[in-house]
Amino acid sequence: MEYQRVETIKNEGHLVHTEVSTRHVSRYSLFTKRIFDILFAVIGLLVLLLPMLVIGLLIKTTSRGPVLFKQTRYGLNSQPFTLLKFRSMRVNAPQKSNKEFGTKSMAYYITPIGNFLRKSSLDELPQLFNIFKGEMSFIGPRPMAMTDADVIKMRKSVGADKVRPGITGLAQVHGRNSISDEEKVSYDVLYASDCCLKRDLSIFLRSIVVVLKREGISRR
């Protein structure tokens, strides 16, 4: 699986990142990484089953609607799949991208325990099922909804969709939602072109720090 991309991504006329790459998708990305994903997804589901049931009960008793938020996202090779999250917003919340939501309007739609779920990233736990099914990985570019069609298009044009999307990724440890779409894609293509165990471990450890510091949290 080889791909070649020569792409310049610009943000308001300024160069953000240029990636010139002729590489093959590594064996680690194709096989070893998938084995790790299955193993740790199973362990995670077994260990976290009770806490997930408690979270589900709290969601159900504090707000009207389903426990899970389901949304079509675009991942490996820009193919759609149904992403799972614990619901942190009211059922009548409009379908908008993060940048379209104002701080006040988003606060209005947050459920009683929604802020806690988001700040702790516990709302992401159901994605262990997505990982087990092979739709996601623990580490990779965050899967986008059609509300972020520009990001999906940019990723495809530079080959950043050649790896499975993740719960956390390089862009998430470099600003999360405080950086521009172009910057996110530049980090995504950098990861896709050099996916390895060392980088995944680095991103995982840095993600823990980001969650503890609650940096750049404004995501749906």
For residue 193, name the pLDDT band (cuts at 50, 70, 90): confident
What gap in Å lies between CA 87 and CA 204, rounded to an integer? 24
pLDDT over 50 at 177, yes or no: yes
The alpha helices in 110-196, defined as continuous H runs, are 114-120, 127-133, 149-158, 181-193
Q: Please identify which residue in the block is written with the tokens 């675009």.
A: 74
What is the per-residue pLDDT for 30? 74
What is the per-residue pLDDT for 13? 41
For residue 5, name the pLDDT band (cuts at 50, 70, 90): very low
What is the per-residue pLDDT for 92? 79
Top-confidence residue, 103 or 213: 213
What is the per-residue pLDDT for 31? 86
Percentage of residues of the chain with pLDDT beyond 70: 80
Element (H, E) at 44: helix 33-62
Average pLDDT of span 2-11: 46
Q: Copy the structure tokens of residue 53.
A: 């049931």
For the four alpha carbons of 172, 204, 160 and 96, in that order, the dihedral sign comes to: negative
Mean pLDDT of the chain: 84
Q: How far is CA 114 from CA 36, 132, 151, 166, 220, in A?
A: 30, 25, 26, 21, 10
For residue 100, name the pLDDT band (cuts at 50, 70, 90): low
Q: What is the pLDDT of residues 122-159, one digit of tens each?
A: 999 999 999 999 999 999 999 999 999 999 999 999 88
Give the residue from 17, 20, 16 showing the smallest Cα distance to 6: 20
For the four alpha carbons of 165, 211, 195 and 219, in that order, the dihedral sign comes to: positive
| Angle (CA) 51 87 166, round 5° | 80
What is the per-residue pLDDT for 142? 95
What gap in Å lies between CA 99 and CA 107, rounded to an integer? 14
Q: What is the pLDDT of residues 35-94, one digit of tens each?
A: 999 999 999 999 999 999 999 999 999 999 999 999 999 999 999 999 999 999 998 777
The DSSP output letter for 78 is G
Cβ contacts of 21 within 8 Å, gap of 6 or more? 3, 4, 5, 6, 159, 189, 193
Average pLDDT of span 101-105: 55
Q: What is the pLDDT of residues 27-50, one digit of tens each?
A: 787 789 999 999 999 999 999 999
pTM for the whole thing?
Answer: 0.83
What is the per-residue pLDDT for 163? 93
What gap in Å lies between CA 82 and CA 216, rounded to an integer? 24
The DSSP output letter for 176 is G
What is the per-residue pLDDT for 101? 54
What is the per-residue pLDDT for 216? 58
